[in-house]
Structure 1
Amino acid sequence: MGPTRRRDLAVTAVVVAVLGYVAVSLLYRWFPPITAWTGVSLLAVAVVEAAWAFHVRARIGDGKIGDGPGRLHPLAVARAVMIAKASAWVGAVAVGFWASVLAYVWPRRGELKVAGEDAPGVVVAVLSALALVFAALWLEHCCKSPDDPSEDADGVSGRLPGTG
């Protein structure tokens, strides 16, 4: 299992945004009101993941990974990686969806009263979803062992196979 590729997340967000825009265009009139609180749950998860990332990074840096008191169990780190990967994908889908809503609402905020009322909440949701993606990628990065070979932004090792 390799690091989550940013390119794959970006493609997912764009595909969801395009499909979402079509859906929003057809279904927006039945949407409930979108408030600033709508996307805050994504931001809360992002904050928790970022805090956990700093904790894991500090433990790895101090060499306090292992089984025993005061140490971070390796399975906890592995679970954090899985949570980070899942959160990055959920965040990418949420970014795409909320970007599609923003693309629909923003140009109409002057002519449709409801679009003007929804716009600030949609902006908060987009930013919260972006924060979740960044926090998830940061957590995944912080879970790497100090012995891992360096990898570029696409998750491809700079070494040739078999050159260890």
Structure 2
Amino acid sequence: MNEMKPTPVASLCWAAVIAMPIAWMVVWRFYGVFPRIGVAGSVLLFVVAIVCAVAGVVIKKKINDGDIGHDRSQMSPVTVAQWMVFGQSVAWIGAVLGGVYAGIGIHVMLHVAELSAAQDDVPGVLAGIISGVSAAIAGAWLERSCVAPPLDPPMDAVAG
């Protein structure tokens, strides 16, 4: 039986590391036509990170309390699996966007003394890096919170 394994943290780090130089090269070439990088662009990532963190706490508590099942008073295992996939997606998106913002940040920090546009972009870039890392961490937390403990082996397997 195939089982879904949590996304390795090293893979998320590699995604960020690979996205960083690509973003830096694009920004290096096209910074003059880039729109201003504001803090508002990072708000959605912060909101998604908060949703993931809260969902991770709630689902982990329900799993520990045995409140996952098919009864109306319980959370459906399908819902838990959907949240797991959502967390995995957010972790990847956060890692890549965090790397992209870091790549943009390299260019901005190299030119902050000479370009007023770079000075204006510093808060937005820092917010983007922080929100990307936050989303990656919260998504990975949610994904790991949705893992149910292994089932007890059947009694005949233990006895035999």
Same fold, TM-score > 0.5, yes or no:
yes
Q: Counterpart of 1:119 in structure 2: which amino acid? A: V
Q: By how many angstroms is 1:107 displaced?
A: 2.4
- Answering whether residue 70 of structure 2 is matched by residue 67 of structure 1, we say yes
Q: Which one has a bigger Cα radius of gyration? A: 2
Corresponding residue number in structure 1 for 2:135: 132
Q: Stretches of 4+ moved more than 3 A in 1?
A: none
- Answering whether residue 37 of structure 2 is matched by residue 37 of structure 1, we say no
Percent identity between the aligned chains?
32
Q: Distance in 2 between matches of 1:44 and 1:116?
A: 26
Q: Counterpart of 1:136 in structure 2: which amino acid? A: G
Secondary structure in 2 aligned to 1:145? coil
Q: Deviations over 1:94-137 (max 9, x none)?
A: 01100000111012112110100110111001100000000001
Q: Give the alignment's Cα RMSD to 1 decimal.
A: 1.1
Q: By how many angstroms is 1:22 displaced?
A: 0.6
Q: Deviations over 1:128-154 (max 9, x none)?
A: 000000000100111111238xxxxxx
Q: Distance in 1 between matches of 2:43 and 2:91?
A: 16
Q: Matched residue pairs, number?
A: 148
| Counterpart pick for 1:86 among 67, 86, 89 | 89
Secondary structure in 1 aligned to 2:35? coil
1:1-164 aligned within 5 A: 1-147=4-150
Secondary structure in 1 aligned to 2:91? helix
Unaligned runs of at least 5 residues, structure 1 = 149-164
TM-score normalized with structure 2 length: 0.89
Corresponding residue number in structure 1 for 2:157: none
Corresponding residue number in structure 1 for 2:154: none
Q: Counterpart of 2:83 in structure 1: which amino acid? A: A
TM-score normalized with structure 1 length: 0.87
